[in-house]
Every structure is written in C-alpha cells, then in structure tokens.
Structure 1
C-alpha cells in the first residue's frame, strides 16, 4: 500500500550540514537545488495495491537508482551512500 510522502522538503539541518560540508556545492546538491524533486510518490501510485503494508517511498527509491547510476556504484555501495553521505540525504 502506498501512502505518498507529503514531507518532501530537505530538512533545514540537513541542508545546513550539506552546505557546510560542500561550501562550493557538488553535483548532487545542484541537482536538487535546480530541479527540485525529480520524482513524486503519486507518479507511482497505480503500481501499488490499496491494501497491505506501507511501501517505502518509490520516489526516493527511484532517486537512489539515479544517484547510483550517476556515480557507477554497486548496490552495496549505494546502500552505504544512503546511510552515510549527506549529499545523498539531501534528496
């Protein structure tokens, strides 16, 4: 079951830490700043049944796939990036 994520803004503290870590910016920060959200959960709504457990945000999962491709990462390296990189959390 898909419950669309309504809170799509970058948390203020995350943005502050990301800008401190990358004072000159980087490609991932610019991507979000210039394009905003690339995907929204509503775009994937028809792919999910009406009943069952709540799904992970398909928009976030799609964005992880894009970032993984951009950086040519393995699945394991992408999972590590999701957990530990502030520029990935910025999305």
Structure 2
C-alpha cells in the first residue's frame, strides 16, 4: 500500500460556522482538530 502526501484539508468557513452554531460547546472531534491539527506532517512518516 502506498499513501500519497497531500496538504492539510482546509475546512470551508461556512462549514465551520454551521458546526459551531450546531455545537456551541464543540465536540470531541472539534476539540482534537483544534488542538492537534498540524502536530504531525507526512514528512514525519516517510521513513516508515
């Protein structure tokens, strides 16, 4: 199996607004993305 590197996915502004409106306190997935996004990059795993 081969994975191709790709840039981080940007979330459209309207999607962010709708998600925040529907979940004012956030969700576990939103919390994780907000805090851990960008922690790792594809280059960190090239040797694997």
**TM-score under structure 1 length normalisation:** 0.37
Check 1:40–1:13 CA distance in 2 against 1; reply closer, same or farther (3 A cut).
farther
Q: Which runs of 5+ in 1 are unaligned?
A: 48-91
Equivalences for residues 1-91 of structure 1 within 5 A: 1-47=2-48
Higher relative contact order (CA 8 A, sep 6+): 2
**TM-score under structure 2 length normalisation:** 0.59
CA-based RMSD: 2.4
Query: Aligned pair count?
Result: 47
More helix by share: 1
